[in-house]
A and B are shown apart, each in its own frame.
Chain A
């Protein structure tokens, strides 16, 4: 979905300042904050939408400046999008994403997780759900070993199923071993 973005010039009256955990200040258009339920509620509670109310900077202790920059990019892109309607259950990974979203979220997993946490903290449902769907689609069709690699999950296995003997981390499941994972139909026997 894409929407035309009429040009508007921000004025001090319709802005608030948020401060990231590393002390950097960001000027946010009130229109953008409507996408964040956390910020929208805060603005409503403190009546920051009134022009005669002094707007103190809002500290966002859980969000770094890099994450805030990324989030503002998202908010600006979706400024004129209709309100996100969340289906409560998906149980599917057959999602499609617009090109802009795929490029926007073409970031390493750890950054994605941090952004997901930030989206959850600021309660931006469209961003939150989109990241979850992207993450889920990244493990579609993958085996457990591949999922471990993709999501950086450490194994904590105990016993060999064939012998019942407790085992140590096996060298055959190391980086070299992972190269054996293939979707090709018939590998040659060794």
Chain B
């Protein structure tokens, strides 16, 4: 029986060019050979990707591709949607990612793969394997962004070294956990945090302060003052309430006199 992967490379490349990103990605999951074939034959197409966005939440893992501007042939596309589920199933399908086998139950009507896992600690492996597979396939030079919810205690810390842009939703947790989240990430280019009912203070050497641009929605003023005092990036946008005017004046005076806050080029307090 003739197999697709035994066709000539010219034929395979033409075949892949008729697939969208999602299909190309799922084809790469079929086997190691299909993975390397996609990786080697789709380099030109991959150069048209602007960034990847991972969304890691308790009940959903999504991976989305955004094309570069000005390329009308490409469009925003979700390539993977996984719904983790810790129920037991007698039968499942296996899909390879980064040389590992993942057990999936089926696809839902929304075209999501349901990931079958036995205990909550396995969620970290699942996230890491998805991340590793995508980085291996598309390369480390791509821009990878991460949307993460920190609502649940069982969510693992990210260990993804290519993430440069992070969006976080968090509630009913401690600021220390937020600090720990970023401690395992490289210096961020952009951090967006929406937080509520948080307790604690950021550490003075928090990696959050090293980010180039921050955009925080902190209506309860939990970390805004820490950011004003220690932020060392270029631009900060802070949404908050009940603000102490003296803190703003201190920040503005320090900025104007160049005695501190030498890096920030712009700021907005709303």
Contact = CB atoms under 8 A, between A and B. Distances in A.
A143 B90 CA distance: 19
Contacts of A95: 18
Interface in B2-46: 2-5, 7-8, 10-11, 14-15, 17-21, 23, 26-27, 29-34, 45
Nearest to A94: B20
Interface residues of B, number: 58
Contact of B21 (A91, A139, A147, A186): A91
B32 A156 contact: yes
B7 A144 contact: no
B88 interface: yes
A106 interface: no
B135 interface: no
A145 interface: yes
B207 interface: no
Interface in B186-240: none
A137 B103 CA distance: 26
Interface residue SS majority, chain A: loop
Interface string B43-77: 00100000000000000000000000000011000
Interface stretch (A43-51, A74-82, A108-116): A108-116
Contact of B2 (A91, A114, A143, A145): A114
Nearest to A167: B101
Contact of B18 (A132, A142, A153): A132
Interface residues of A, number: 60
Given A132-B15, A157-B100, A177 B91 contact: yes
Given A158-B99, A180-B93, A139 B23 contact: yes
A159 interface: yes
A180 B105 CA distance: 7
B118 interface: yes
B109 A135 contact: no
B94 A185 contact: no
A26 interface: no
B1 interface: yes
B93 A177 contact: yes
A116 B106 CA distance: 32
Interface stretch (B122-130, B151-159, B162-170, B260-268): B122-130
A182 B112 CA distance: 11
A151 interface: yes
Interface stretch (A2-10, A15-23, A28-36, A168-176): A168-176
A136 interface: yes
Given A151-B3, A183-B109, A144 B29 contact: yes
A98 interface: no
Most buried by B among A117, A145, A189: A145
Contacts of A132: 11, 14-15, 17-18
A86 B42 CA distance: 19
A173 B30 contact: no
Contact of A113 (B4, B20, B74): B4
Given A153-B30, A156-B31, A156-B33, A180 B91 contact: yes
A158 B100 contact: yes
B20 A93 contact: yes
Contacts of A116: 7, 11, 15
A139 B45 CA distance: 19
Interface string A117-156: 1001000000011001101110111111101100111111
B93 A173 contact: yes
Contacts of A190: 88-91
Contact of A145 (B32, B93, B99): B93
B95 interface: yes
Most buried by A among B3, B7, B15, B74: B15
12 contacts: A89-B45, A91-B74, A117-B11, A132-B15, A137-B18, A147-B26, A160-B100, A161-B102, A161-B125, A170-B94, A180-B93, A183-B109
